[in-house]
Amino acid sequence: MDFDALIALARKQRQQPEVLISIPKDWSQGRTVFGGLSAAMLYSAAKEYIEVDRPLRSMTTSFVGPLLFDVPFQISVEIVREGKNVSQVLARAIQDDKNCVLTQLCFAKARQSKTAVDNNDQHNMTIPEKAKFIPNIPKVTPKFLQHYELSIDAGGLPFTGKKSSHYYGWMRFKKPPQEISEAHIISMIDAWPPTLIQQLRWPAPASTISWNLEFIYPHRTLAPSDWFAYKEDTRQAADGYGHTEATIWDNHGEVIALSRQTTAVFD
């Protein structure tokens, strides 16, 4: 089942709140569903409740427990508050009566304002001709990566004992979708491995605990086959936890999203 088919199931939640969804193994990340997919599905379900002139401004996702693949789960959506300009929504992935993924989303319409600050952050990476990432290693490479293309410009491969703790590079879908939406971008951003595992010499579990993502508007129309630039730096790491910040650009060099994550490494 491809990404768009799974997103379509999530969007049906409003008409069929009792519907159960099962994610196939090819979207797995270890024993759980790929976090970028589950966050994108919760966003897509929540978006169905919101007026079209209110784009997603920010979302904060907590991965509170394992969301297992091949096991049915349900999406719950709650409108926390809907004001004149801003809608606040809470979405949950519930499996076996347990909350597995929670996300709070803020949708807000554009307004006229005398305030304006341009984001002029830039990168100096060249758009790649093809992907350049890790090979498919059984029981090491997450299965969901087969759906994406990543090209590392700076940073070490996972589990190679490097001293670096950043990833700079490019990302896109291996099979271009019909169109690129916020859901696609959400999933791509989370496709990168945790920055800290390149410092390990042997495979070890690592997972995101919480994730804050902000979208920047306005931006140009995005094409399905576009590469998106990505720069993620570790701000601090200790006691088995790391804190990272990332910037995402379109292929015109304009910033479209900002990301912050707290990750745990179980080495």
Please check whether residue 102 is in contact with residue 45, taking contact to mean a CB–CB distance below 8 angstroms.
no
- For residue 170, count other CB atoms closer than 10 A to its CB: 24
Residue 64 has pLDDT above 80, yes or no: yes
CA distances from residue 182 to 37, 87, 101 in whole angstroms, order as listed: 12, 17, 18
Please check whether residue 92 is in contact with residue 76, taking contact to mean a CB–CB distance below 8 angstroms.
yes
Residue 26 has pLDDT above 80, yes or no: yes
Please check whether residue 192 is in contact with residue 150, taking contact to mean a CB–CB distance below 8 angstroms.
yes
- For residue 9, count other CB atoms closer than 10 A to its CB: 19
pLDDT per residue as tens digits for the range 188-205: 999 999 999 999 999 898
- CA gap 105, 109 in Å, rounded: 14
CATH 1.20.120.420 at 126-267, yes or no? no
Residues of the chain with CATH 3.10.129.10: 1-109, 126-267
22 bridge partner residues:
none
Confidence band of 10 (pLDDT split at 50, 70, 90): very high
User: What is the rounded average pLDDT of the residues 5-34?
Assistant: 93
E strands of 118-265, at which residues? 148-154, 166-173, 206-215, 228-238, 241-249, 255-265
pTM for the full predicted model: 0.94
Residue 136 has pLDDT above 80, yes or no: no
Please check whether residue 75 is in contact with residue 93, taking contact to mean a CB–CB distance below 8 angstroms.
yes
Measuring CA to CA, which residue among 141, 144, 59, 72 is closest to residue 102? Answer: 59
Residue 70 has pLDDT above 70, yes or no: yes
CATH topology of domain 1-109: Thiol Ester Dehydrase; Chain A (3.10.129)
Please check whether residue 248 is in contact with residue 182, taking contact to mean a CB–CB distance below 8 angstroms.
no
Q: Which residues contact 142 (CB under 8 A, 6 or more apart)?
A: 28, 29, 30, 34
